[in-house]
Amino acid sequence: MMFLHVMMMVSVLSGGSAEVVRDFREKCADIFANGASPTILPGHQYRQICQTLKNKVYFATLYDTDNKIPVYSAYKFNKKIKCDRKHIWCIEPQLDNPGEGPNMVPHHSRKSSNQAVNDDYKKSDFDKGHLIPVYMASSQDCSDATFTLTNAAPQNRNFNRGQWRILEEKIAKELTERCLSKKNTAYIVTGVVPGKHKIKRKVNVPSNFWTAYCCLDHTKECQISRGFIGSDRKITHDNITVNELETRLENLYKVKSFQLFIVISVFFAISLLTLD
């Protein structure tokens, strides 16, 4: 006689997306590990954006219209190619007028009260620091799509062009060698925590930059995952577990629970063969 007990524990996160949607799941669930986004912070200022260029979604952003910076951007990393940096920054038209089209549009002189614009950064000493980096883009359109102001936050120039860039390169290498090579899927979430200062009394200068990845295998579990968090100037807590990062983010965002990746744990408890 053989007994086979299969116990399946599925823990699904609560909570819930350039196209502004009520719920990321309407248009871009596949950007996220197991179809679920990181925690959506409570509050009316947050908008879910499925970042759309030429009618194709490339990544997703939770945007804070009060602070005029993202909370996080999430991306499915498939491969990277070398792309041109055209530096044509876009805005998300639907943040100001829900009647606008789904695509991000190049920002010229259009005024905007719900999001940061190029002028806000001018003469500010800060870079428009990309959350989803150009470096990990899988096509030129994908690279162009990262140049949207809702995917950027004021970042110290030396940090952006120094340690943070090096970290992005290390993560891309790590995921290429240890995840993509095994035909697994790599999910990346990068975010910021609002700080005490604003530029032009409008755009918040984040106190922290953080990023995390999860490499999902066919069992829907994170086979490898890491988290990284730094102050606005340097990586202070390099390389921690995703759990540790979540705990730190709960404190920083002042929320009870902050989850980065949906965890589907499947425990197969197989009671061994019992022979009569």
Ligand X SMILES: *[C@@H]1O[C@H](CO)[C@@H](O)[C@H](O)[C@H]1NC(C)=O
Q: Which amino acid is at 217?
A: D
- The nearer residue to ligand X, 119 or 174, going by C-beta atoms, is 174
191 alpha carbon, distance to own chain's centre: 6
Candidate residues 68, 130, 226, 248; the one interacting with ligand X per rule CB under 6 A = 226
Kindly tell me which of 35 and 162 has the beta carbon lying closer to ligand X: 162
Q: Which residue has the tokens 């940096």?
A: 85
We find the least distance from the C-beta atom of residue 236 to ligand X, in angstroms, to be 14
Residues contacting ligand X: total by CB under 6 A: 5
Q: How far is the CB of 161 from ligand X (least distance, A)?
A: 18
- How far apart are CB 27 and ligand X at their closest, in Å? 31
Amino acid identity for residue 199 in this structure: I
Token output for 203: 């755009």
Q: Looking at beta carbons only, is 30 or 238 nearer to ligand X?
A: 238
Which neighbouring-strand residues pair with 189?
74, 212
Work out whether strand 7-10 and strand 208-216 pair parallel, antiparallel, or are unpaired: unpaired
- How many other CB atoms sit within 10 Å of the CB of residue 177? 10
The interface with ligand X within residues 141-180 (CB under 6 A) comprises 170-171, 174
Q: How far is the CB of 256 from ligand X (least distance, A)?
A: 28
130 binds ligand X (CB under 6 A): no
Q: How far apart are CA 34 and CA 178, in angstroms?
A: 19
Among 239, 241, 243, 251, binds ligand X (CB under 6 A): 239
Q: Are 260 and 245 in contact (CB under 8 A)?
A: yes
Least gap, CB of 247 to ligand X (angstroms): 18
The 10 Å Cβ neighbour count of residue 239 is 13
Residues that bind ligand X (CB under 6 A): 170-171, 174, 226, 239
